[in-house]
Amino acid sequence: MAVIGKIVKKLMYAAVSILLVYMLWLLSRAFLFDQFVIPTDSMNPTLLPGDRVIVDKTVMGARIYSDFEFNPEGGELHSWRTRGLRSLKHNDIVVFNFPHHNWCISFVINNVYCKRIMALPGDSLSIENGHYRNNNYEGVLGMNAMQERLEHTPDSLLWPWSLPAIPHHERFGWTIRSFGPMYIPRKGDIVKVTPYEATLYNIFLAWETGKPIRCNWDTGEVWAGEMPLKKHRWQHNYYFMAGDNVIDSNDSRYWGLVPEEYIVGVVKRITYSIDPQTGERRKDRQFKKV
């Protein structure tokens, strides 16, 4: 009996130890860091398909869910954030939940993208000859070599649908070569709303007011539902995200901005990488700093 008792004790200690390790792993994923797989070429050459990246949640603070009833078709995000170490910066590479579903802002828990921050709240962003320009940042945004490649690639070698950019409206005519300037909304800022703003920020104004946005370019009138909308105080911070591979990246140029609440964290390091074509490990990318 004594031997059986010792075995039971050891099994109990082992079970408790495993449970504690598992709980610590879950807590670390929730509050400190998590790992994601890069699926596409959109961040090439910085990140490659098959890279496993560590996302640091302590930089801007971990996003903690206050409601776990997630709608797989998209719904409202209910969360709060712990105190972060610093604000997000230009050129930070981040992982975020893709916010645009069925022509509205909605949250799908496992639908995540990885892109670079080209503009912060309060910035004005432009694209000139395929190169990003930011009124609040003098350095190079993203990969200059890739933007030069876009600059010197004729339209005939690009997919026709890849040229038009948001807001996909004839009065703008923006493309991935010539874009903006676009003001990036900052929480608390008040903006005058004309048909120009109603068209450019339609999906975000609808999300914040909870009403569909309509406008008349001829009269200059804008409505949120049935109420006239002449000005709006932004309730959220927004970011412009883009891939380094500017010729082949599905990003903010095509679908718009990302609310701050949808950002998971900042990419810090590649833990390991497996070539999806060959299944082999890329040894030169192991524990590589991003």
For residue 276, what is the domain's CATH number?
2.10.109.10
Residue 212 binned pLDDT confidence (cut-offs 50, 70, 90): very high
Grouping H, G, I as helix, E, B as strand and the rest as coil, residue 163 is coil
| Summary mean pLDDT of the chain | 94
* pTM, entire model: 0.93
For residues 79 and 156, membership in a common domain is answered with yes
CA distances from residue 7 to 1, 2, 15, 20, 236 in whole angstroms, order as listed: 10, 9, 12, 20, 57
For residues 12 and 137, membership in a common domain is answered with no
For residues 23 and 40, membership in a common domain is answered with no
- Tell me if 200 is assigned to some domain: no
Name the DSSP letter for residue 262: G
* 132-145 confidence digits (pLDDT tens): 999 999 999 999 99
For residues 85 and 41, membership in a common domain is answered with yes
- In which domain, by residue range, is 9 found? 1-31
For residues 59 and 12, membership in a common domain is answered with no
- Tell me if 56 is assigned to some domain: yes
Write down the pLDDT at residue 69.
86
Q: Are strands 213-216 and 63-65 parallel, antiparallel or unpaired?
A: unpaired
Supply 46's token pair. 């910085």
Question: Helix H segments across 115-249?
Answer: 144-151, 195-200, 202-209
* 270-284 confidence digits (pLDDT tens): 999 999 999 999 999
Residue that is written with structure tokens 């911070």 in the block: 237
For residues 52 and 111, membership in a common domain is answered with yes
Residue that is written with structure tokens 């008040």 in the block: 190
Name the DSSP letter for residue 249: -
Write down the pLDDT at residue 2.
67
- Tell me if 60 is assigned to some domain: yes
- Tell me if 179 is assigned to some domain: no
- Tell me if 49 is assigned to some domain: yes
- Tell me if 192 is assigned to some domain: no
Write down the pLDDT at residue 277.
92
For residues 20 and 41, membership in a common domain is answered with no
For residues 25 and 143, membership in a common domain is answered with no
Cα–Cα dist 261/77, whole Å:
8
- Tell me if 231 is assigned to some domain: no
For residues 86 and 156, membership in a common domain is answered with yes
Q: In the predicted model, is pLDDT for residue 156 greater than 80?
A: yes
For residues 16 and 48, membership in a common domain is answered with no
- Tell me if 267 is assigned to some domain: yes
For residues 105 and 21, membership in a common domain is answered with no
- How many domains are there within the chain? 2
* 29-48 confidence digits (pLDDT tens): 788 899 999 999 999 999 99
For residues 2 and 22, membership in a common domain is answered with yes
